[in-house]
Chain A
Amino acid sequence: GQQVMQIPQYQHVQEGEDFTTYCNSSTTLSNIQWYKQRPGGHPVFLIQLVKSGEVKKQKRLTFQFGEAKKNSSLHITATQTTDVGTYFCAGPYNTDKLIFGTGTRLQVFP
């Protein structure tokens, strides 16, 4: 069954509002990756987190890896219409292959 859950499943925000998606794993992860998929597009790698409690920033995006390495979050400050898409977290499971979370679809209204 699915081992990586993301919440919320959907999020609609007004442009300029903040957005956060959460990723929860059933097991401890050696690393977690985040990908973005634009509507009609394919997943594109954003960032990888490895250390417990690690925080990384990319302009308006802030990524965090939990202390127990079982959860992660992606926070977008002051969303823009270019942020529209589905955000996936992914982590290695079972045979050390990358398994993707359920995704959070973000819609931004101008």
Chain B
Amino acid sequence: RKEVEQDPGPFNVPEGATVAFNCTYSNSASQSFFWYRQDCRKEPKLLMSVYSSGNEDGRFTAQLNRASQYISLLIRDSKLSDSATYLCVVNNRYSSASKIIFGSGTRLSIRP
């Protein structure tokens, strides 16, 4: 089983729609969580960190459920520019080091 799992998509939704992604992780000791977006042939860019209490940044809302070991990303009023691959990222702590684990990404395509 992968340490971080995401639905690869693609999700194809109309502009203005609300879309949600989930991501599950296997290590219950995972410390921190992030969502990144990656545009085609570009580097990943940090979208937002995910906190236990949930957090919102404009049209984007991230939630963490430690009991069920999943994180989610909700995008409201989607724009054409939201089309990208969204990467779920988990930071695990192993003895004296930490390790970032990337999900394989969920592709989102917004259509006019």
Q: A and B: partners?
A: no
B interface, CB within 8 angstroms of A: none
A interface, CB within 8 angstroms of B: none
